[in-house]
Structure 1
Amino acid sequence: MSYQTAEETALLLYQLLENSNQKRGRVSEATIRRLSGRTLLRNKFLEDLKGCLEDIGLILIELHRGGFGLMRASLLEGAPAITAKKYMKDELATLNNGVTNDDLFEKIRSQLEDPVNEADDS
């Protein structure tokens, strides 16, 4: 198999998602390497691939545990708006009062490190 361009690989990933009859799914690095004809996925190629996928309405996200998430951008069309004004009143007040924001950011960092929060995202 010869090298495929980022655009050609994006089209193949689109077809993969179509053939799966799913709106989202996980794709391994091995699958992307196979579809692209590459043995190594360089950052530049992945950036170009993400751009080409966005052009055809797909989003590719690298996952912490390896591989990538692939989903249709249209899934977000009907998502409810989340605004800082509505959901971060206390945080905005802290940011606007001119006092050091270290405590606020430490609180947020501790939530990121909390395994309970990560389990909620699954």
Structure 2
Amino acid sequence: MITKNPMEDFMQSRYPSIDTVALRLAVLLKRSDKTRARVSEKTLRILSGRSTLRDAFVIDVRNALEDLSVVSVRLDRGGFALIAASALEGAPPALVKNLMPDFRKLPDDKLWNELDLPDNEVDE
């Protein structure tokens, strides 16, 4: 006889699965009739039934969304951007031979300077 861990039932009934949360977000994007949308952290907490959004959870949801052809990006101003992958199909190509023919000669510090990220976004 196989016995189940009672905590498994508790955890399964308390929170929807990561796949369910990703599915809810994908349907939310689809129902918006847009190819991109912003979703607040509050909306994600509501859809996931969680009061706290841990980084591991957000990463798992992002990975599950990719399986549904939705790209998720955390925004600087808070919340997340949802983008239908199909919206990126027509994006113009960025070719190394046209934009960075000398990439082998460029030191990392020069690349970082050109990227011009705010100091709080650079993990060094």
Q: 2:111 aligns with which of 108, 112, 121?
A: 108
Distance 1:82 1:20, change over 3 A: same
Amino acid of the structure 2 residue aligned with 1:62:
R
* TM-score normalized by the length of structure 2: 0.74
Q: CA RMSD in A?
A: 2.1
One-letter amino acid of the counterpart of residue 110, structure 1: N
User: Where do 5+ consecutive residues of structure 2 fail to align?
Assistant: 1-12, 119-124
TM-score w.r.t. the length of structure 1 is: 0.76
Mapping for residues 19-38 of structure 1, pairs under 5 Å: 19-38=31-50
Residue 3, structure 1, aligned to residue 15, structure 2: yes
In structure 2, the partner of 1:65 is 77
Aligned to 2:25: 13
Distance 1:48 1:114, change over 3 A: closer
With over 3 angstroms needed to count, the CA separation of the structure-2 counterparts of 1:113 and 1:9, relative to structure 1, is: same
Distance 2:72 2:40 in 1: 11
Shift of 1:107: 3.8
What does residue 81 of structure 1 align with?
93
Q: SS of the residue aligned with 2:71? A: strand
SS at match of 2:102: helix
Give the CA deviation at 1:19.
1.7
Structure 1: state its 5+ residue gaps.
Answer: 96-100, 116-122
Q: Structure 1 residues 109, 47: closer, same or farther in 2, change over 3 A? A: same
